[in-house]
Amino acid sequence: MFSRKRGGPKHVRPDDAPQSAALAKSMGDAPAPEFGPYDSRQAPDGVQRLDLGSLLIPAIEGVEVRVQANPDGAVEQIVLVHGNSALQLGVFAAPRSEGIWDEVRAEIAAAMKSDGAAPQEFDGPYGVELAARVNTPEGPADVRFVGVDGPRWMVRALFQGLAAAEPGQEGVLGECLRGLVVVRDDEARPVREALPLRLPREMAEHAEQHAEGEDPTPPDVAVNEQFPGHNGRHAH
């Protein structure tokens, strides 16, 4: 139902809508892609994953998962860290029959250019990617955006550090992206709205127990402050 390669610009509908029963049936019958991000109906079994609601992240040794959540437990940012590289993940609502990565990528490139960067497009395993060196308070930093259009969703992956400067060095962070699972609910959502994410139950319980303490941050959860950019709740 969806390809890892994409063509020209797509029209973005103002609103999303639940897919029809026929489309749902066809999704169930369609062969699974060779690698993820997978739709939840096509994800391989037998893989240990961290459940963050709309995203299931494969548990891979050596990868640190940093999650920023608001006081209600809703996740606002996910960053995976390994060595000198980081991978920031976002997942957004998309139309039933059209991809939105082409238009989102164009908007990201325009924003980079307005900030003085010189983004470049190139072909990768998922289609057209976008890379640039951007200025941050800590100095110049390499970033690389990857977009994946799925059935009624789009994953935006932002590689930073070595994995951005040298795509062949993404290592286990690339494995995380290839093993990612998207759980799209049936609720109609505006196109580009961030799909709901939440803390895993154990983390949420820990945060609630320490809500009045000095350190309410759940274990293995940290606010990502050392990596740059593009943290909005809508895809842009």
pLDDT in tens, 196-215: 999 887 666 665 665 555 44
In the numeric block, which tokens belong to residue 107? 């908007």
Question: For residue 131, which of 171, 177, 164, 169 has the smallest C-alpha distance?
Answer: 164
**Residue 78 contacts residue 66 (beta carbons within 8 Å):** yes
CA–CA dist 226, 45 (Å, integer): 35
Res 64: pLDDT: 97
**Residue 85 contacts residue 160 (beta carbons within 8 Å):** yes
Res 206: pLDDT: 61
Task: Find the DSSP H helices in the chain.
Answer: 21-29, 101-114, 162-165, 171-178, 201-209
pLDDT in tens, 1-53: 333 443 333 333 444 444 444 444 434 456 778 999 999 999 999 999 999 99
pLDDT in tens, 68-92: 988 887 899 999 999 999 999 999 9
Determine the straight-line distance between the first and last CA of the chain, rounded to whole angstroms.
24
Per DSSP, the three-state class of 21 is: helix
CA–CA dist 55, 184 (Å, integer): 9
CA–CA dist 168, 144 (Å, integer): 12
As beta bridge partners, residue 123 has 128
CA–CA dist 145, 57 (Å, integer): 18
In the numeric block, which tokens belong to residue 18? 């639940």
Rg (CA), the chain: 18
This prediction has a pTM of: 0.77
**Residue 131 contacts residue 122 (beta carbons within 8 Å):** yes
The answer to whether the Cα torsion of 187, 80, 158, 122 is positive or negative is negative
Res 72: pLDDT: 80
Amino acid at 136: T
Question: For residue 52, which of 230, 181, 175 has the smallest C-alpha distance?
Answer: 181
Least-confidence region, from 8-22, 44-58, 89-103, 173-187: 8-22
**Rounded-to-10 torsion of CA 225, 228, 231, 236:** 180
**Residue 223 contacts residue 68 (beta carbons within 8 Å):** yes
